Amino acid sequence: MYEIIEPGSHQEFEAFIEQHPKGHFLQTRAWGRQKPFWQWRGILVRDSEGSIRGAMSVLIRKIPMTPYTLMYAARGPVCDINDKETLKGLLDGAKALAKTFRSYVLKLDPDVTFEETEFMKHMEELGFVLAPKAPNFENIQPQYVMRLPIGGKTEEEVMAMFKPKTRYNIRVAIKKGVEVRVCGREAVHAFYEIMVETGSRDDFMIRPEQYFADMLENLGEHVRLYMAYSEGEAIAGTIAVHFGDKVWYLYGASSNSHRNLMPNYLLQWEMIRWAVETGCRLYDFRGISGDLSEENHLYGLYRFKSGFNAEFTEFVGEYRYIFRPIAYKIIEHGMPMAKKAVKKLRK
């Protein structure tokens, strides 16, 4: 039987997410606070003795000009992925929420690799539909990431795993006097200005400045803003999140000047050091393209992250459970066109 967890009564829910091997910061109530335009609810499934067997955090948002909402469970569910009974219980909880909030679909992109065929079989039997592969960030979360296993390793052992050129670039940054600091809200504006510069150079949309300031507030001790300085000038920055046994590289920005100082390599090393210090099992570089051909304009992401000897990881992708088929067809057809229009307006 499922339980619906309301905001304010989520402590047990959060503790389960943090200790579970499939736990993810995107499944926390704290991340729900980072999304103020969405409503947060948690779903729990217990065994006969009252112990939690599975959990799923969902965000719910009204679709403009419709009576419907979208329900999204980022990197959920958190449970034994081969426990079909628990998966069904979590889905039953989502169905109940869908009635309350008039949701037309549940989308989720689990922390499950494509080799997990038993999980995929269970999801199909439960009625989920797997979206087409998204090699170039077409879905909400990246389907392809780079992850570095660091469990039980020292800093020296981790450094030795890197490719020679990457180790050399880290040493270049140190030799040339690049200083990396863990900063607070006072550095958010400088980070944002560099992010604007990066977005303009690499042609991607960026979050508002307040979004990054709110992240430091909402995630608290789980998040760090790293800034790289050369002779007192901010030249690059990154945001990392630590939760459970993992650290994720979430955002990165670098100025057009001083790129020869290799600040991005030193920033990555400092974030990896945080993961080692906190006894993490994985350091997650997050998204890359699934198309690894050198002609792909996103190939540079793979080249940079693979220099740290991270492992190419393909997730199963984005699952959808459709509650209202007609509304799904209308909204899912209209949303891509609306997003293109918004992107043009922002440009």
How many angstroms separate the CA atoms of 336 and 31, rounded? Answer: 25
User: Read out DSSP for 117-174?
Assistant: HHHHHHHHHTT-EEPPP-TTS-SSS-SEEEEEE-TT--HHHHHHHS-HHHHHHHHHHH
How many angstroms separate the CA atoms of 32 and 45, rounded? Answer: 20
pLDDT single digits (tens) 88-123:
999 999 999 999 999 999 999 999 999 999 999 999
How many angstroms separate the CA atoms of 27 and 18, rounded? Answer: 9
> To the nearest 10°, the Cα dihedral for 307, 193, 224, 316?
-50
Beta bridge partners of 242: 247
Percent of the chain with pLDDT over 90: 89
Question: In angstroms, what is the C-alpha Rg of the chain?
Answer: 21
Does the structure show a pLDDT above 80 at 335? Answer: no
With a CB cutoff of 8 Å and minimum separation 6, the contacts of 154 are 276
Q: Which two tokens stand for residue 95?
A: 């169905």
pLDDT single digits (tens) 7-54:
988 899 999 999 999 999 999 999 999 999 999 999 999 999 999 999
| Contact status, residue 128 vs residue 320, Cβ threshold 8 Å | yes
Q: What is the pTM of this model?
A: 0.92
What b/e sequence results for 61-72 when a residue is b if at least 16 CB atoms lie within 10 Å of its CB, and e otherwise? eebeeeebbbbb
Residue count (the chain)? 347
Calculate mean pLDDT across residues 301-314.
Answer: 96
Which residue, among 237, 256, 269, has the nearest Cα to 170 in the 3D structure?
A: 269
Q: Quote the pLDDT of residue 204.
A: 83
Q: Quote the pLDDT of residue 295.
A: 92
Beta bridge partners of 146: 286, 312
Q: For the chain, give the mean pLDDT.
A: 94
Query: Residue 339: which pLDDT band, with cuts at 50, 70 and 90?
Result: low
How many angstroms separate the CA atoms of 298 and 289, rounded? Answer: 6
How many angstroms separate the CA atoms of 265 and 285, rounded? Answer: 12
Calculate mean pLDDT across residues 256-272.
Answer: 95
Query: Residue 291: which pLDDT band, with cuts at 50, 70 and 90?
Result: very high
In three-state form (DSSP H/G/I as H, E/B as E, the rest C), the secondary structure along 38-104 is CEEEEEEEECCCCCEEEEEEEEEEECCCCCCEEEEECCCCEECCCCHHHHHHHHHHHHHHHHHHCEE
| Contact status, residue 130 vs residue 123, Cβ threshold 8 Å | yes
Residue 259: HSE in the Cβ half-sphere, 13 Å Cα cutoff: 8
Q: Which two tokens stand for residue 237?
A: 């920055």
Does the structure show a pLDDT above 90 at 347? Answer: no
How far is residue 230 CA from its own chain's centroid?
A: 30
